[in-house]
Amino acid sequence: MTINTKGFTLIELLISISILSIISLLLLPNYGNFNKKNTLRQAALNLGNDVELVKNKALSGVYTNGSNCPSDNCKVDWGIKFNCSANTYTLGPYELGTSTQYNDSNYVSSSDVKTISLPSKVSFDSATCPDNWVFGRLNGLVTYPSSGGNNQVKLSIEGISDSVTLTLDLTSASLTYESN
């Protein structure tokens, strides 16, 4: 008489489950870092998209609220104002008139102004944080900062040493990303 021996023994099942649980415990910390890196990258991409949005608004000559400049001599540039201590940035128009300073006094208050907060635990590096990046009306070129100004923003996240640096080319107004 032959005995049918199909299947696994209890010992074989326990060994297999033990091996799988050890492997999953080794991979679990990497999953947490993966989520943090992904959050950091997404924050950098969102900031980059907002830079492109502001640049496109400047290129289109849009004044505020989707309307065109009421006269040919008004000067409205579009920019991003960074608040590194609060980890926020604000997109909106600057109406300069004869001024050449980009500050709160000539930031136009309209429904187009929007303030964005970085995701939780993502922050600006205060050592590389600029005040403003402003793009000129109808040409989209960088009008502020000048050639000697700060053209980099560095984002980092708590818990890991990774960071993403966005660099704005002050001549061509192009944006590059560098991860480390």
Q: What is the pLDDT of residues 111-147, one digit of tens each?
A: 667 889 999 889 988 787 887 888 887 777 787 776 6
Residue 141, pLDDT score: 78
Task: State percent of the chain over pLDDT 70.
Answer: 78
Distances (CA, A) of 109 to 46, 66, 106, 160: 23, 14, 9, 38
Residue 109, pLDDT score: 62
pLDDT of 13 > 80? The answer is: yes
Residue 104, pLDDT score: 59
Residue 14, pLDDT score: 94
pLDDT of 164 > 80? The answer is: yes
Domains of the chain in sequence order: 31-179 (3.55.40.10)
Mean pLDDT of 101-115: 65
Residue 71, pLDDT score: 58
